[in-house]
């Protein structure tokens, strides 16, 4: 995973306080908001890693903002540190009860605030790394089998309209491993993954199901574009030229089976099974081809 610069949303109705925070948090990207409604709008549009939230604000106070953020799927896991002049126990308890992870009283000590921000961001980064490891294939970096089925099932359940599934398999992969060795086989898998990933739509669910087998689930109103995309993938894989440990040239091909949801398909498993049947036909009729079953 690439290390990215973290973004902090600072929410305070006093501009002078925001200026202090921006100057203090110069190592981060800081977005300002002077009220609760503005803060919610920003979170809806931006990728926010941490929120510094004042409690006493006109209209919507910090508690109300926090409760709202915790009700929204996109923002429910963003850590919120309350910054306020209120220091009584009831205010502190309410801050934690509404979903805050920490509490800093004004006037705050700059080094203390920076330390608390750093701790929360490091905690978030660790969670993201663990989630990535649990959901992605370690060799290729694409979704693993479990995450693929989770996301593809969600996509199917949202709407099966114009939904396609493609099963892809590297032809005679065992022979590649036996002839050139497993490190070469790994390079072939990574190269094929790259070709597929570069030639599918951004909204597609792409995963490695195991070994040399991949699956893609996508939604597209134009059947011809799906056909053209998968043919392009097949052709580009055929054009790959890789080298073994000893410098030998390695060529490879893939077979593809494609199906579209129709009235006979009730769930994701049935759609993938239909695509797998088409993959079997592609394999059995000479390999290095795509077999489409649209209806």
Strands 29-33 vs 242-243: parallel, antiparallel or unpaired: unpaired
Q: Report the catalytic residues.
A: 212
Residues 6+ apart with CB under 8 A from 57: 11, 12, 13, 35, 36, 65
Rounded CA separation 147/79 (Å): 25
Cβ atoms 45, 65 nearer than 8 A: no
CATH topology of domain 145-293: Alpha-Beta Plaits (3.30.70)
* 19 token code pair: 């200026």
- Report yes or no: 205 and 151 within 8 Å, Cβ to Cβ: yes
Query: What gap in Å lies between CA 34 and CA 72, rounded to an integer?
Result: 21
Render each residue's pLDDT in the chain as its tens digit; 295 residues: 456 789 999 999 999 999 999 999 999 999 999 999 999 999 999 999 999 999 999 989 999 999 999 999 999 999 999 998 887 889 889 999 999 999 999 888 999 999 999 999 999 999 999 999 999 999 999 999 999 999 999 999 999 899 999 999 999 999 999 999 999 999 999 999 999 999 999 899 999 999 999 999 999 988 888 989 999 999 999 999 999 989 999 999 999 999 999 999 999 999 999 999 999 999 999 999 999 975 5
Kindly give, in sequence order, each residue whose CB lies less than 8 Å from that of residue 13, ignoring residues fewer than 6 positions away.
34, 35, 54, 56, 57, 58
- 164, 226 Cβ separation under 8 angstroms: yes
Domains 7-133 and 145-293 share a fold: no
Per-residue model confidence (pLDDT) at position 1: 47
Q: Are 79 and 124 in contact (CB under 8 A)?
A: yes
Q: Which two tokens stand for residue 192?
A: 């094929």
pTM score above 0.85 = no
Predicted pLDDT at 175: 96
Establish whether the linkage from the previous residue to 107 is cis, with ω within 30° of 0: yes
In words, the CATH class of domain 7-133 is alpha beta
Q: Give domain limits for the chain.
A: 7-133, 145-293
Q: CA 136, CA 210: separation in Å to the nearest integer? A: 12
Instruction: Please report, for residues 43, 63, 140, 235, 260, the alpha-carbon distance to residue 217 in angstroms, rounded to integers and kept in the order given.
Output: 29, 41, 18, 20, 10
CA-nearest of 110, 118, 79, 111 to 95 is 79
């Amino acid at each position: 995973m690439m290390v990215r610069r973290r973004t902090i949303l600072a929410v305070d109705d006093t501009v002078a306080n925001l200026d202090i925070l921006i100057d203090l948090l110069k190592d981060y990207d800081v977005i300002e908001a002077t009220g609760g409604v503005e803060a919610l709008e920003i979170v809806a549009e931006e990728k926010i890693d941490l929120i510094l939230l004042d409690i006493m604000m006109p209209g919507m106070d910090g508690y109300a903002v926090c409760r709202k953020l915790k009700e929204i799927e996109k923002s429910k896991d963003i850590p919120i540190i309350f910054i306020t002049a209120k220091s009584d126990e009831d205010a502190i308890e309410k801050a934690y009860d509404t979903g805050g992870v920490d509490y800093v009283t004004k006037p705050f000590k700059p080094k203390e605030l920076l330390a608390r921000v750093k701790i929360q961001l490091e905690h978030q980064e660790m969670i993201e790394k663990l989630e990535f490891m649990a959901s992605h294939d370690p060799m290729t970096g694409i979704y693993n089998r479990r995450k693929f089925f989770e996301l593809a099932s969600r996509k199917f359940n949202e709407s099966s309209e114009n939904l396609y599934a493609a099963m892809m398999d590297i032809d005679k992969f065992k022979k590649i491993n036996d002839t050139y060795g497993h490190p070469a086989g790994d390079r072939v898998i990574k190269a094929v993954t790259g070709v597929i990933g570069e030639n599918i739509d951004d909204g597609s669910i792409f995963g490695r199901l195991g070994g040399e087998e991949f699956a893609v689930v996508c939604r597209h109103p134009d059947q011809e574009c799906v056909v053209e995309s998968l043919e392009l993938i097949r052709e580009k894989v055929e054009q790959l030229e890789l080298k073994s440990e000893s410098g030998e040239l390695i060529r490879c091909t893939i077979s593809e089976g494609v199906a579209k949801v129709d009235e006979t398909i009730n769930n994701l498993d049935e759609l993938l099974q239909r695509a797998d049947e088409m993959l079997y036909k592609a394999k059995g009729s000479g390999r290095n081809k795509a077999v489409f079953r649209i209806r």
